[in-house]
């Protein structure tokens, strides 16, 4: 199975295929491509410290309410 590094993955806006060319969609040759690395922002997600800060905040709030 072929894999594409996120930094080289581009979503075609015309046919919704993901390819590894920033110039042309490998499926339909469209030039309307969206780089996925920027959209998914993996640099922040790769930080293992706090992946889901809003969930931790919600959990803390819930426990505060239970204890009260
Ligand atoms: Zn395409």
Question: How is the chain split into domains, by residue range?
Answer: 6-67
**33-35 and 18-19 as β-strands: parallel, antiparallel, unpaired?**
unpaired
Q: What is the pTM of this model?
A: 0.58
pLDDT for 16: 96
Give the DSSP H/E element, type plus range, for residue 62.
helix 53-67
pLDDT in tens, 8-53: 999 999 999 999 999 999 999 999 999 998 888 766 555 555 566 7
For residue 34, report the distance from its CA to the centre of ligand 1, in Å. Answer: 11
12 Cα: distance to centroid of ligand 1 (angstroms): 5
**What pLDDT score was predicted for residue 40?**
86
């Amino acid at each position: 199975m072929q894999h594409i590094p996120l930094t080289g993955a581009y979503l075609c806006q015309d046919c919704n295929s993901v390819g590894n060319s920033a110039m042309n969609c490998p499926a339909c040759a469209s030039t309307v491509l969206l780089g996925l690395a920027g959209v998914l922002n993996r640099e922040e997600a790769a930080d293992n410290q706090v992946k889901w800060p809003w969930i931790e905040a919600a959990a803390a709030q819930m426990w505060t309410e239970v204890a009260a």
